[in-house]
Amino acid sequence: MLTPSRARGGQWDRTSAGLYIPAGTDRGQAQQRIAEVAARLPSYGVVTGWAACLLLGAAWLDGLARDGVTPLPIRVAVGTRGGVRRDPALTVSFERLPEWEVCRRYGVRVTRPERAVFDEMRQHGHREALVVLESALAGRLTSLARMAAYGETHRSSRRFAVVAWALARARGGARSPLEVRVRTVAEEDAGHARLEVNRVVLTTDGRRIGEVDLLDPESGTVIEVDGADHRDVDQQSWDITKEEALRQVGLEVARVTGRQARDAVALAARLGAVRARSRFLEPDLRAWQLAPQDVDNEVWLSEREQEAMWHESLGA
């Protein structure tokens, strides 16, 4: 048992009134930060936003700002009549919080996926809200249909316009935040049509050429987003081979690195130029086709919920 004398012995660090953790614990870890905030919330308090999404399994949301260094405050919800002591480590929502929107994850009270994603999206501008939504879809927290239904019943919420903008442009299947940002620049600024995401390209006789990050079928433009993994020598060799094969079937290829994506204006001009020199072939004249794809989370989510209900019924 932790006694007052032991707490003063140097083997424990105080996190807040009456709460301690073992000395040397890495308090910079997002999960540790969440646990510390959750431990001092009132009984009706709930963790929401990126922190809830992280505990629920969202991809990419690590509690850091876009610079990868600055810690984001943890957002909590306390309902219209609740309250919590002010702290720079958190932001507080006083919006309505029905109990059916609350669940537990790793012992922490969190908002359910749709509410958590909705809350986090509204903390950002339009384009980063789309990154948040695609993160939730990549982590299979929710589906586009569920988010659209949730949004429809919360149209009067603060900054709903940001959510509506992102919902109209999300599609699932993304592999990284960088890919989503490049896609948005291509579609919103460079004149590309709605891009296909992470699709397998085949020859007309069914031979596999390779999977591409982004594809504008109308113009025949491929955009490859090169993250850190593309620095590997073997990966670079494969990238060159795939690019040659794509060009042989009439597809124009542009490659984008993380550094290039930081300048959206220059990137838009470059992607627009690549699209302009593409071939714009009619479907019956193309030497390529796309393999079938299904990235809708709804079926997977429904099956998981049915399985969970079945297991719960066994214990009834």
Please give the chain's pLDDT, 316 residues, in tens: 666 666 666 777 777 777 777 788 888 899 999 999 999 899 999 999 999 999 999 989 999 998 889 999 999 999 998 888 888 889 999 999 999 999 999 999 999 999 999 999 999 999 999 999 999 999 999 999 999 999 999 999 999 999 999 999 999 999 999 999 999 999 999 999 999 999 999 999 999 999 999 999 999 999 999 975 545 555 667 778 899 999 999 999 999 998 999 999 999 999 999 999 999 999 999 999 999 987 788 988 998 888 877 767 766 5
What SS3 class is residue 275? helix
Looking up tokens 């020859």 gives 203
In a domain, 232, yes or no: yes
In a domain, 131, yes or no: yes
Same domain, 158 and 192: no
pLDDT at 13 (0 to 100): 77
Same domain, 39 and 151: yes
Residue 186's nearest CA partner among 151, 147, 225, 153 is 225
Contact 74, 89 (CB under 8 A): yes
Q: Which residues pair with 288 in a beta bridge?
A: 203
In a domain, 302, yes or no: no
Q: Which of 114, 137, 167 is the last residue in one of the domains?
A: 167
55 Cβ neighbours under 8 A, 6+ residues apart: 31, 34, 47, 105, 106, 108, 110
Residue 106's nearest CA partner among 60, 64, 55 is 55
Same domain, 45 and 133: yes
Alpha-carbon dihedral of residues 237, 240, 246, 251, nearest 10 degrees?
A: 150
Contact 231, 238 (CB under 8 A): no
**Residue 106 has which token pair?**
């790793």
Same domain, 41 and 142: yes
CATH of the domain at 242: 3.40.960
In a domain, 286, yes or no: yes
Same domain, 18 and 157: yes
Query: Which amino acid does the sequence have at 83?
Result: G
Same domain, 107 and 239: no
Same domain, 268 and 158: no
Same domain, 142 and 206: no
pLDDT at 230 (0 to 100): 47
C-alpha angle 37-46-50 in degrees, rounded to nearest 5:
75
Q: Which helix (H) or strand (E) holds 273?
A: helix 264-276
Distances (CA, A) of 62 to 29, 178, 203: 9, 15, 39
Same domain, 183 and 159: no
Same domain, 189 and 162: no
pLDDT at 234 (0 to 100): 55
In a domain, 306, yes or no: no
Contact 147, 87 (CB under 8 A): no
Distances (CA, A) of 170 to 66, 145, 167, 245: 20, 11, 5, 29
Q: Which of 124, 143, 167 is the last residue in one of the domains?
A: 167
Same domain, 35 and 157: yes
In a domain, 7, yes or no: no
User: What span, in angstroms and rounded, lies between the C-alpha atoms of 281 and 220?
Assistant: 7
In a domain, 173, yes or no: no
In a domain, 210, yes or no: yes
Number of compact structural domains in the chain: 2
Q: Residue 34 is part of which domain span?
A: 13-167
Distances (CA, A) of 159 to 101, 118, 156, 163, 165: 19, 10, 9, 7, 11
The total number of residues written for the chain in this structure: 316
What SS3 class is residue 110? strand
Same domain, 71 and 152: yes
Q: Residue 24: which region, alpha, beta or left (left: phi > 0; alpha: psi -120 to 50)?
A: left
Q: Which of 101, 132, 167 is the last residue in one of the domains?
A: 167
